[in-house]
Amino acid sequence: MIHKPFSSSFTTFLLMNFFLVTKHLNAQSGENDTNSSLTTTLNESIHDISLRIANTYGADIYTVEPYVEAAVLYEDQIGIPASVVIGIAVYESSFKSYLFQHSGNPFGIKAGKDWAGPVFIKHDDGADTPFRMYISPEEAVLDFGRFIRARHWYDDARVCPRYDYRCVVEGLKKTDLEPGYSTNPEWDEKVIEVIERLGLQGLSAY
């Protein structure tokens, strides 16, 4: 039996299919490379933001970064944007205040009757006052979320879109009808200023 050589049209068909398959595989490889680069970029961004916080306030990067990572990791669970969590932490403690150094509490949350954990006593507002103590950044961030959820007057902050940090902060401020996170009438403006100056908005993109 004599085998005839492929016709030119069939050869062209094979070459075109080879080209298309190769192009598809290369595209898939490119997508994987892009995903890999994206992951690296995100991780670097968290580090860069943490480094910017540390450099701005003279804090330790190895202290700051775990709190930033925890805020991003638990953002969905606690229902508060990571940008706001870290903005409040920076404003209240700069990650180097006396209270933070002795309690691991960057949020300045006092230990009221609803707190059964360890406390750190600090002189505040003219009296010795108990503040909540945390053993890890994860515990601090998760308890911050519980603290907000347990107070119905913060409900308007919790329904804000994740990207709208201004809405969230304004929902946490003191008003004539609701107690706020702080009695300082400029608290919301100061926290928003911290978020914008440090570029913390990007944390909620993860």
Partners of 67 in beta bridges: none
Distance CA 37, CA 40 (A): 5
Two tokens, residue 4 = 């005839």
pLDDT at 174: 83
Here the CATH number for the domain that contains residue 65 is 1.10.530.10
Q: Which helix (H) or strand (E) element contains residue 85?
A: helix 82-93
The structure's pTM equals 0.77
Query: Comparing 5-9, 32-36, 47-51, 174-178, which segment has the lowest mean pLDDT?
Result: 32-36
What is the domain range of residue 94? 13-107+134-205
Is residue 2 in some structural domain? no
Domains of the chain: total: 1
pLDDT digits (tens, 9 = 90+) for 50-90: 999 999 999 999 999 999 999 999 999 999 999 999 999 99
Give the model's confidence band at 206: pLDDT under 50 very low, under 70 low, under 90 confident, else very high. low
| CA angle (172 as vertex; 71, 160 as ends), nearest 5 | 70
Is it the case that residue 32 has pLDDT exceeding 80?
Answer: no
